[in-house]
Amino acid sequence: MKTITFLLMYYLPEEPTVNFIYQKHIDECLTKGMRVNIITPNPTRGVSKEQINKYRHIKYEHLRTNLHVYRVNCFTYYHFNKFNLLHRYLSVSYRCAQKLKKIPSDEIFIQTSPPIFYAYWASKIAKKRGIKIIYDIQDIYPDNIFSHRPFIYKFVNNYQKKIMQRADDIYTISEDMRLTLANKGDFSKKIHVRANPPTFQISRYDDQKMQLIKQKYHFENDKKTILYAGNIGYLQDLDVLLAAARILQDENHIAFKIIGEGSQAIRIKAKIAELNLQNCEFYPMTTNEESAYLYKAADVNFISLLPGVIYTACPLKTAMIKQAGQPVIACVDRDSNYASELVENGAISIIPNRDYHLLADVIKDYFVK
């Protein structure tokens, strides 16, 4: 029986959205009759202290036929600060990679979720043992954090290139990202594009569920809704949407809804209150199923990224937005392949990053028409 080992930063009971993508790969391997090992640290993200303490004593779980989970105790903190986060990342990277030495594997699946040292150490061990390396790149580090000039970029980029050299196959999620990775060296032949599927697939939307979603999130029949639902971080640049909402405050037939979580969520929620945006509502992150219905319920779905980010990352929500089939307005780099694909799928407009005046004009003109 062929064995593949997934080295993941998070696993159940943790539920980051990207794990729904990885679970599909895991299920595919199980369907092929492979043994699947998962190496993961003791869970801490989005779980209670009781669960944190419980899983510190669980080192192995046989969850179902051919699915084996190996949990590694790593540095755990209860109060967030950057030092504790760095300590956690380094602890996970080293200790989980070392676990690979003790588990027989024919292939390993590694990913770029921070820290990059996790993939670096794991790929080094796998290469020495003659294990095939599959490298899944959802975000390109350090390109999506640092400019190319500072020493820190060059330092981390060397680790990225070393992992790519060791990898037998490299998978990324967009053509823009493939081109960025290909520019790092002679890697073109082993880089493949595998777009992420919807994290919740729907073949037919249930009318009763749709009505319940509209009631829960206060969709009004006499108002047109522009929706942002997803991660709310620095890279998403949601200030551009708030600035447009501020300009359109007197347009009583237009409503803005922001739904999600992330490093900037508290600040965005506070800014809505600070600017007294009566036309804008904020809601916390919801389930993948509800998100799928929200994208369908919206009159317009909104996508935004800081300049240049689309070449190093691709919004995970894109597949579900395409699935919903509703109009899209995006603030992304106009010359990107991603922008071209949105236009081909019927996007209303691709707006230069951060041009909130044009964004407001496009929204107003579209709903007037």
* pTM for this prediction: 0.89
pLDDT above 70 covers a percentage of the chain that reads 99
Among 6-15, 239-248, 295-304, the range scoring the smallest mean pLDDT is 6-15
Say whether 2 sits in a helix, a strand or coil. Answer: coil
pLDDT-based confidence at residue 354 (cuts at 50, 70, 90): confident
CA distances from 229 to 206, 258, 300 (A): 20, 6, 11
Residue 113 in this model has a pLDDT that exceeds 90: no
Question: What pLDDT sits at residue 369?
Answer: 64
Average pLDDT over residues 154-177: 95
DSSP assignment, residue 195? Answer: P
The DSSP string of 258-310 is EEEESTTHHHHHHHHHHTT-TTEEEE----HHHHHHHHHH-SEEEEE--TTGG
Question: What pLDDT sits at residue 347?
Answer: 84
E strands present in the chain: 3-7, 35-41, 60-64, 67-72, 107-111, 132-137, 169-172, 191-193, 224-231, 254-261, 280-283, 300-304, 328-331, 349-351
Residue 368 in this model has a pLDDT that exceeds 90: no
Question: What pLDDT sits at residue 277?
Answer: 97
Question: What pLDDT sits at residue 77?
Answer: 85
Question: What pLDDT sits at residue 114?
Answer: 63
CATH 3.40.50.2000 domain range(s) in the chain = 3-193, 207-368
Supply the CATH classification number for the domain 207-368: 3.40.50.2000
Residue 301 in this model has a pLDDT that exceeds 80: yes
- Tell me: the pLDDT tens digits for 69-84? 999 999 988 887 878 8
Range 3-193 has CATH code 3.30.450.40: no
pLDDT-based confidence at residue 227 (cuts at 50, 70, 90): very high
Question: What pLDDT sits at residue 179?
Answer: 96
Average pLDDT over residues 102-111: 96
> Treating both helix axes as pointing N-terminal to C-terminal, what angle do 288-297 and 207-216 enclose, rounded to 10 degrees?
90
Among 108-117, 141-150, 313-322, the range scoring the smallest mean pLDDT is 141-150
